[in-house]
Amino acid sequence: MNKVLINSLIVLACFFAPVNGYAAPALDEEVDGRAPVAGRPGITVTGFGYASAPPDAARVYLTLGSQPGFPGVGSDMLIVGPEDVENVLDLLLERGIRKETVETKHLVYSLFTPTNPTSEIAFIHDDPGGLQEFLQELHRALQGQQAPALLSTQVTFIVEDCRALEEEAILDAFADAKMRAGRLSRLLGLTLGEEVIAVSEETIAPQCRASSWTDFISRTTFTLENNVAEVEAGAMLRVSFAIER
């Protein structure tokens, strides 16, 4: 029997066979004499959680192009092509950057030169503590060669086990939600139960992964630390706790 057929049978079995001998109760179904989930009184709160760790590496984004001119005064549009970026790539490899971590983009729009397309080169630097000295030395090397101008530098510090950091932030968010629910129920003269009626993940802001778009979203959603000493992940959970009658 081929592998595809076996996988199909397993999927079908998951639809028809109950887990642990019983199916999950419906929202309008009583369980052990308790009211249905949909009709059970509860308190819904939002919890915020954070977790941090020292960075393992840094993701660096370099914007390369011609020096910005002034539109309308006779300046020519200078396009930095792939052959120009090769000069920068050679400098990076000579200084220990692993080639498999390098990514390049061409004809990229940049706020620094709105009239001239630019190129972007991104790479992983494995020594966060030595990154500043590395970038300073790279800038000096670019000034001394016929290479594109370095228009901007963006750095995001990252951790290898980002998933573990995210999970720690989620648990912290749940603990914060439970504290808030307990405080709210106490102020209202209610008794908070132990049962969780519902939970949803509202936002997760990792910022420990290497992605320019993720970095932007994370920083606008959460005020997170991301520096040579600390990388922080954030989570937001919406949790509904039962209220004892």
What are the 10-residue block averages of pLDDT along the chain, 245 residues in total? 42 39 43 52 92 93 70 52 80 93 80 69 93 91 73 88 91 96 94 92 66 47 77 92 87
Give the per-residue pLDDT at 78.
57
How do 192-205 and 231-243 pair as beta strands? Answer: antiparallel
Give the per-residue pLDDT at 76.
52
Give the per-residue pLDDT at 53.
93
Residue 112: C-alpha distances to residues 46, 68, 81, 118, 119 (Å)? 40, 7, 17, 9, 12
Q: In whole angstroms, give the CA distance from residue 117 to residue 100.
A: 25
Give the per-residue pLDDT at 72.
47
Give the per-residue pLDDT at 117.
74
Give the per-residue pLDDT at 128.
92
Give the per-residue pLDDT at 242.
94
Give the per-residue pLDDT at 104.
87
Q: In whole angstroms, give the CA distance from residue 232 to residue 162.
A: 10
Give the per-residue pLDDT at 13.
41
Bridge partner list, 31: 34
Domains detected in the chain: 30-53+161-243 (3.30.110.170), 57-158 (3.30.70.920)
